[in-house]
Structure 1
């Protein structure tokens, strides 16, 4: 069985990127570790992750490099297969300085999300091929 990082214990590659601080029935509080500056440093964010099974996962920033981040991943079935829609919102303060910092954070954030989605897609395709479907 594959990794279920928010449900069980995080191991392997996920274990270095995620630490669950607390769990509820449909939500976790988790630290996420993102490598920055070529991997020499890492940014730490704390987020709530809420699950509306089977179609939705929502993230809300509690602590991080900007004051406001909300993200959602929504899954739906289509004739062609499963469709995933990602939406994210990043907010800043401190006027121009905040706008500059927000743009810097957003670039790294978008690259991290794209890499995560590519990883999820590859794993889903691997599982589908292994299942013969």
Structure 2
């Protein structure tokens, strides 16, 4: 093998290895298997606000939100949420969210319950270094207004800001899905629509 062939083969091997490392790092970050918290160039962005009106009493809506963490979860919920540790008003839980194809992101969050009007989440491990969220439940003449707000933080200035925008979109879609499921089940339980 000539010198040019060896150089070309060596360059190809280095390029392949670098590509494999980059792909592995990306998959690790997307699925939260490799959390990145550098504390450098932190950028914060809001999550929400989102809200949904539920034609059911606040206690019913609160119980539905707390059930997977403090009570008995359905089989469908257990496929998405695993409670790692539980107390009377707080849980540490792993949440699985489909990302793309067979990719699944697993985040670990503390979930604190203030009956009957508030549920707070704080990210422990995930695809970004910082997330705090809250669900507020307010009584209305028709039933309950469920509101969501939060903030998401990323590192590395503009690169992190770009990543945060991508993650925030999926995060808010997951909350919207939760809202629809809670509204449907609460209204089914109370027979109101």
TM-score (norm 1): 0.90
User: Offset at 1:84?
Assistant: 1.2
How many residues are aligned here?
Answer: 129
Distance 1:11 1:128, change over 3 A: closer
Give the CA RMSD over aligned residues.
1.7
Alignment partner of 2:71 out of 1, 8, 17: 8
TM-score (norm 2): 0.63
The question of 1:124 aligning with 2:189 is answered no
Residue 85 of structure 2 corresponds to which residue in structure 1?
Answer: 22
Q: Distance in 1 between matches of 2:148 and 2:96?
A: 20
User: Offset at 1:83?
Assistant: 1.4
User: Offset at 1:79?
Assistant: 1.7
Consecutive unaligned residues of structure 1, counting only runs of 5 or more, are none
Alignment partner of 1:41 out of 65, 88, 103: 103
Consecutive unaligned residues of structure 2, counting only runs of 5 or more, are 1-62
User: Offset at 1:9?
Assistant: 4.1
8 Å Cα contact 2:129/2:153 also seen in 1: yes
Report the structure number with the largest CA radius of gyration: 2
8 Å Cα contact 1:10/1:19 also seen in 2: no
- Between structures 1 and 2, the one with greater strand share: 1
Q: Which has the higher contact order (CA 8 A, sep 6+)?
A: 2
